[in-house]
Structure 1
């Protein structure tokens, strides 16, 4: 079976970096994006051992010109090929302790710009390459959401701007699925993962979470499009 092609945003650390690591292990080709590749030390080390299967691409999801340049670079390398899987992972969190009454609206706008608008810009920019995919069953777009984006499961007033942005990302996922029935679009909640964002007290190791996510993503069919899932492949409540 020919190798699949993946593009991962926000791959310099955490979940995005682990995605790149595990996908390379299975023999596929990865385009891993980072705002400042020269500072992405672990990603650079991974490239050294990837034997040509990892391409590091400079990309700031908030800057349209950066996305255009990244699309051109990826397109040139693919030489007419397409992207089979796009993992829209880039995201930011300002504070776990942020309550609605504490919101700094400028910070909130920055979070929305990255977590929601950035995902829109990446989708729009790479859509032609996604639609060139030859993956049986159709290409897969995964928006990395969060359990914090679930309205029905909200249990506290914390991480407000982040949570609201992820709820918006979930809606974007549904709209994308309706617009492009030829693409399988999934919102994925990785679980509370031990990363720089998740913190040391988180429940899941990053390798465990990503391994479960990948199993679900690779097996995805059109019946999964427009759904909100957790790392083990089960559906989450909106």
Structure 2
């Protein structure tokens, strides 16, 4: 099993040289995933991937049920994000990482983010806002993938809108809405949370776009 620092260096290599030190939230998220992976090293990475997808999909049901069920939806979203990070930590730290697994994990991430958008919509966010939230979850990784196809070796800086931020924003929004659902204010909370997420997404895409523009011009 790799040490934590070895794991972070290997993660950076798998993600186009991105330095996790550039974002405290990302580094903390990766460190927590690594600590969990040490205890679950026997688990196949694919099992964690499948579990994360199933949990994210399950979060949509209580989100649409509304009321106090929103608390469960928020917990499930957080759990899905943790499982998603666990599969990568298991693969990299135990030497089981592969290009096929890397692509599969990225595809599953996009599906789970669609589930997050559906959960926000069901919990009370306007459909167009939930769709914008989902699109802004997808766009940074699409830009990185296209830049890689254009020959950019590095995937760009870590922005304010990386995977941990998306998970935390979705989960915290649903939890907050669940807490005050008894006062009939869940929908405004979900709408506000989705709007803040979209604002962070726009800022994150702009940060990444400027970095990739410089790389593509070089």
Where on the TM-score scale, by shorter chain, does this alignment land: which range?
A: 0.3 to 0.5
**Whose RCO is larger (CA < 8 A, sep 6+)?**
2
Taking structure 1 as the reference length, the TM-score comes to 0.32
- Kindly indicate which of the two structures has a greater share of residues assigned to helix: 2
- Kindly indicate which of the two structures has a greater share of residues assigned to strand: 1
Taking structure 2 as the reference length, the TM-score comes to 0.34
